[in-house]
A and B are shown apart, each in its own frame.
Chain A
Amino acid sequence: MSAPTPEELHDVRLHVNGSVHEVHVPARRLLSDALRHDCGLTGTHVGCEHGVCGACTVLVDGRPVRSCLMLAVSAVDSEITTVEGLTEADGSLSPVQQAFSDCHGLQCGFCTPGFLTAITAGLEENPDPTEDEAREMVAGNLCRCTGYQNIVKSVLRAAEIQAEAGQERS
């Protein structure tokens, strides 16, 4: 009996949160696993691993995408932002992170990275959502703890914080 041929590994350059990560991975490595295991960025959580829960949501070229439904080898040409990349340059919380803290938008926190990334992109597209629009913004993410009420409040609060920051700047 011949020994099984070792699986081919690919050299992949991932652009994550403004840094380059050179990883050496099989083609079947999911982007979620590459971020966690190969880049050491464990902020991205993995729940269902088939696209349903949204815990693994990251931004790919600014748009929210399920990292468990992308292969790392397929992410070469993209700029990826994980929850670690949302914090401001000085280490302070981003408006969405601050709002989750203010409004008690998390309990166990397992789902939170996916909500933070999805809402960050959602507010970029719609900086002043109504409550219904806020609910729609998080409709693709599951949370087993909060019952969503405080997450919806957090979306609205984040919009306020962003608007206030914008006014101060101008």
Chain B
Amino acid sequence: MKPAPFAYLRPATLEEALAALAGQQGAKVLAGGQSLVPLLSMRLAAPSTLVDINALPDLSHVAVSDDGVRIGALARHAEVLASREAAERQPLLAMALSHVAHATIRNRGTTVGSLVHADAAAEMPMVLRLLEGSVDVASVRGRRTIPAAELFAGPLESTLAQDEIAVEACFPALAPGAGVAFQEIARRHGDYALVGVAAHVETDGGEVTRARVGFVSVSDVPVVVDVTDSLDDPASAALAELEPADDIHATAAYRAHLVKVLTPRVLADAVHHARDRKKS
């Protein structure tokens, strides 16, 4: 199992990298390689050129401000997970990242790469959608910001153009009065989720004023459902908007069952989280 031949570039500046991508229809970005290299080896992808961004400067940051956490394209999952400031500003980051693969994969795989890869079985695309974050992308044509709601086009398909590089992702801070929670069921810890569920609630004086739930591995894109008006039976409201699918890992019926069990559980956790934060 070996990749097909390709040309390789390791540019030292973002400008060079963008020019290389713009000049070649078949060129692809190589970040951590934890999704792309298996695809190359299995020959499911055969780019003409790989533009390796690992030598680009100033993209490894995990920058925490009042607004939230900005994650550079070369920040590895492990570095984001290790940042205490990031976990304080937006606790859902660490809650979800600890379920992303194993430590060895997290040492190399990038969080931004996982967003661009847009796997519906991956945790971070759903987390970005649930938190209403965004990704900044650059190309020779200029820069633009893609809101999470417009980032995911289909299975393993994001709305980045072929010549664009995602330079940074922005995960908004958790507002006062808000709470988050995450749970997933996988065959073994670190495996892709059979079903993963995250919740984000906003509260005002103990009352839930907004509640949203995000799902991993249920449909073929990351899905977020607003359940503010169906808090008595949020799982049914969610299932009405989901299309659980069969695959070799689980049947659709089992996935629907997990959605029913996990949705109320995770929502309750998020409400507790909001209350506990208020106390401390």
Q: Which residues of A contact B (CB under 8 A)?
A: 7-8, 10, 26-28, 30, 33, 49-51, 54, 57, 60, 63-66, 68-71, 73-74, 76-77, 118, 122, 136-137, 139-140
Contact = CB atoms under 8 A, between A and B. Distances in A.
Given A30-B2, A70-B33, A140-B101, 5 more contacts: A7-B5, A28-B6, A63-B107, A65-B104, A74-B33
B55 interface: yes
Nearest to B4: A28
B156 interface: no
Contacts of B7: 8, 27
A74 B102 CA distance: 21
Interface string B94-114: 000000011111011000000
Contacts of B78: 63
B1 interface: yes
A64 B104 contact: yes
A64 B2 contact: no
A57 B8 CA distance: 24
Contacts of B30: 71, 74
Nearest to A117: B104
B226 to A, nearest CB: 35
B264 interface: no
A77 B197 CA distance: 39
B225 to A, nearest CB: 31
A64 B38 contact: no
A67 to B, nearest CB: 10
Contact of B38 (A10, A51, A76): A51
Contact of A66 (B52, B105, B188): B105
Interface in B69-103: 78, 101-103
Contacts of A68: 37, 41
B54 A74 contact: yes
Contact of B1 (A8, A50, A54, A69): A50
Interface string B243-259: 00000000000000000
Contact of B188 (A60, A77, A139): A139
6 contacts: A49-B41, A50-B41, A66-B105, A69-B38, A77-B55, A140-B103
Contacts of B6: 27-28
A54 B5 contact: no
A73 B105 CA distance: 19
Interface in B231-252: none
Interface string B1-37: 1111111101000000000000000000010011001
Contacts of A71: 8, 30, 33, 37, 50, 52
Nearest to A70: B33
Contact of A49 (B1, B4, B5): B1
B37 A51 contact: yes
B42 interface: yes
B5 A26 contact: yes
Contacts of A139: 102, 188-190
A63 B1 CA distance: 25
Nearest to A66: B104
Contacts of B3: 28, 30
B185 interface: no
A66 to B, nearest CB: 6
Contacts of A51: 34, 37-38, 105
